[in-house]
Amino acid sequence: MPSKSYDVVIAGGGLAGLYAALSLDKELSCAILVKDELFTCNSSLAQGGIAAVIRPADNTEKHLEDTLRAAKGLANEEHVRLMVENGPSEIKNLADLGVSFDTGPGGDFYTTREGGHTEKRVLHCGGDATGAHMIQTLIRKVQAKTNVDILEDRFLLDVLTNSDKQACGVLLLHDEPEVLFTPHVIVATGGIGQVYQNTTNQPGITGDGIAAAIRAGAKTRHMEFVQFHPTAFFDAAKGKTAFLISEAVRGEGGILRNHQGEAFMEKHHPMKDLAPRDIVSQAIAREMQNAGVPHVFLDITSHSRDFLSKRFPTIFGNCRDHGIDMSEQHVPVAPSQHYIMGGIHTDSFGRSTTEGLYVCGEAACTGVHGANRLASNSLLECLVFSRRCADLINKGTFHRHSDEALPANDDKPGFKGDIMAIRMQIKSLMQTHGGIVKNEKGLQQAIADIKKHTARLERAGLTTRTEAETYNMGLIALEVLIAALKRKESVGAHYRT
């Protein structure tokens, strides 16, 4: 099996992975491996922006309080403090690297206020293209580094461990399996969106890194806390959601209606359509369940075509491409998995419970989001904790002997069934039983069904990327469902009936 050695191997090239690579000493050899192309990650999709205290009227105590309030008492306050206090310097560093944040008339950074924030502190780039701008800039910077090899189209299969249970390399799949030996593995593979039928996440976000870290002995935390965005466009032809319809549409007077045309949010919350995200998602889920339909509608026909096409050019264009004129027709919408607050449990330097295995970004549970994420804090978390992880590695020692953990050849028969059918069943079970509204019976049923699939795949052995992904999706689904079954009370994004 081909192999190579590096000081550090980073699985994942979104904001967390790229920023970790940029923060490593230039003397350290490093490989970044990504599943598809480097630009294809959730970070490039981020629209709203990144939260940080920039304006004199704001302060880090307020950002801390807003974050803790959203987290419903389940955040790690020390880590939240680290995040908000490091926010301004990380923004400055990004600007120094060439990220061009939008500015106001006086040249100051332009900030907006998002749901849950008591101050204007969300910075953005190119209007609603924040993530794309950041990632493009950081890719250029990483490409210029001579100590970093960028390995595209490489699938992380497993994190290797030695006889002392320390991480000592990664097994990856390109055309053939390959091994990269290293004393420092950073998993930055993002969230789990594709485990659900409806998700705003990229197609490659299947929770592989979290699953590989679990197999290497790392512990997970808060996997039951999955955030859903209330309104994604529902594409009837495909039977699933397609793209996000920003909260700003409801901010401009958009009203959610059921199939009878009733405005139902007034039954659920005094703030009606502008209630918090989890309340709106739960209300929509109930309407859909009661009527046995896959979506509700968003009505913004109170505005003219001219207004809507100027105020929401991207959304208006996307709707039009799907045959809907927002000024005349109600837009079909459904909630969509968006983010996971949980992940691999780490300390404030990204260290997991497996020595030598670090986790950053959405794959990690640093504890800063608790039971619910405050809008625009996730990009900030990526920056603060991946830099701390790199700083720790920069100071570290590099003595571990590593080539003792080559994976053994197994003689399993190989999978013979319809792998895509298994994948669809996992997604469907998660949508029905592991989604916005959960109950004990449904959770138990889904656990039993998914366990059958994972056991079957284990017996067969996995040889292709699709098989490995599907197996990982099964493992991640079980983590979410089992954690949800254990937490009996409803809190934050976790709602049980």
Ligand X SMILES: Cc1cc2nc3c(=O)[nH]c(=O)nc-3n(C[C@H](O)[C@H](O)[C@H](O)COP(=O)(O)OP(=O)(O)OC[C@H]3O[C@@H](n4cnc5c(N)ncnc54)[C@H](O)[C@@H]3O)c2cc1C
- Please tell me what DSSP assigns to residue 231: E
Q: Which is nearer to ligand X, 43 or 301 (CB)?
A: 43
| Both structure tokens of 389 | 């992880």
> Does 474 help bind ligand X (rule: CB under 6 A)?
no
In this chain, which of 10, 20, 22, 45 binds ligand X, going by CB under 6 A?
Answer: 45
Nearest approach in angstroms of CB 106 to ligand X is 24
| Both structure tokens of 67 | 């974050």
Q: Which of 138, 68, 95 is nearest to 374 (CA)?
A: 68
> Does 201 help bind ligand X (rule: CB under 6 A)?
yes
CA distances 255 to 230, 301, 336, Å, are 13, 9, 18
> Does 12 help bind ligand X (rule: CB under 6 A)?
yes
Query: Which of these segments, 13-21, 84-92, 251-259, 324-332, binds ligand X (CB under 6 A)?
Result: 13-21
Place of tokens 């590695």: 393
**What are φ and ψ of residue 178, in 5° steps?**
-135, 160
- Please tell me what DSSP assigns to residue 471: H
Q: Which is nearer to ligand X, 14 or 169 (CB)?
A: 14
Show the site string, 314-343: x = touches ligand X by CB under 6 A, - = not. Answer: -------------------------x----
| Both structure tokens of 55 | 């304006």
**Which residues does the annotation mark as catalytic?**
277
Nearest approach in angstroms of CB 247 to ligand X is 11
> Does 47 help bind ligand X (rule: CB under 6 A)?
yes
In this chain, which of 8, 10, 11, 374 binds ligand X, going by CB under 6 A?
Answer: 11
Q: Which is nearer to ligand X, 81 or 373 (CB)?
A: 373
C-beta separation of 492 from 71 below 8 A: yes
163 burial (CB, 10 Å; 0-12 / 13-18 / 19+) is exposed
Query: Which of these segments, 205-213, 314-322, 436-444, 447-455, binds ligand X (CB under 6 A)?
Result: 205-213
Query: In angstroms, how far is CA 119 from the centroid of its own chain?
Result: 25
C-beta separation of 181 from 402 below 8 A: yes
Q: Which is nearer to ligand X, 366 or 454 (CB)?
A: 366
What would the 3-class secondary structure string for 390-428 be?
Answer: HHHHHCCCCCCCCCCCCCCCCCCCCCCCCHHHHHHHHHH
In this chain, which of 362, 387, 393, 470 binds ligand X, going by CB under 6 A?
Answer: 362
Which amino acid does the sequence have at 230? P
CA dist 338 and 240 (Å) reads 14
Nearest approach in angstroms of CB 264 to ligand X is 25
> Does 208 help bind ligand X (rule: CB under 6 A)?
yes
Query: Which of these segments, 70-78, 175-183, 204-212, 475-483, binds ligand X (CB under 6 A)?
Result: 204-212
Nearest approach in angstroms of CB 20 to ligand X is 9
> Does 282 help bind ligand X (rule: CB under 6 A)?
no
Query: In angstroms, how far is CA 384 from the centroid of its own chain?
Result: 16
CA dist 311 and 35 (Å) reads 35
**What are φ and ψ of residue 220, in 5° steps?**
-100, 165
What's the farthest any 2 CA atoms get from each other in the chain?
68
| Both structure tokens of 360 | 């950053």
In this chain, which of 7, 8, 30, 49 binds ligand X, going by CB under 6 A?
Answer: 49
Show the site string, 364-403: x = touches ligand X by CB under 6 A, - = not. Answer: ------------xxxx--x---------------------
- Please tell me what DSSP assigns to residue 202: -
In this chain, which of 54, 192, 195, 244 binds ligand X, going by CB under 6 A?
Answer: 244
Instruction: Please report, as residue ranges, which positions from 131 to 190 form the binding site for ligand X (by CB under 6 A).
Output: 131, 154-156, 188-190
Which residues, at least 6 apart from 285, have a Cβ–Cβ distance to it below 8 Å? 335, 435, 436, 437
In this chain, which of 9, 10, 15, 83 binds ligand X, going by CB under 6 A?
Answer: 15
CA dist 86 and 81 (Å) reads 8
Nearest approach in angstroms of CB 403 to ligand X is 22
In this chain, which of 169, 204, 332, 335 binds ligand X, going by CB under 6 A?
Answer: 204
Q: Which is nearer to ligand X, 142 or 447 (CB)?
A: 142
In this chain, which of 361, 434, 474, 492 binds ligand X, going by CB under 6 A?
Answer: 361
> Does 230 help bind ligand X (rule: CB under 6 A)?
no
Binding residues (CB under 6 A) for ligand X: these are: 11-17, 33-36, 41-43, 45-50, 130-131, 154-156, 188-190, 200-201, 204-205, 208-209, 244, 339, 361-363, 376-379, 382
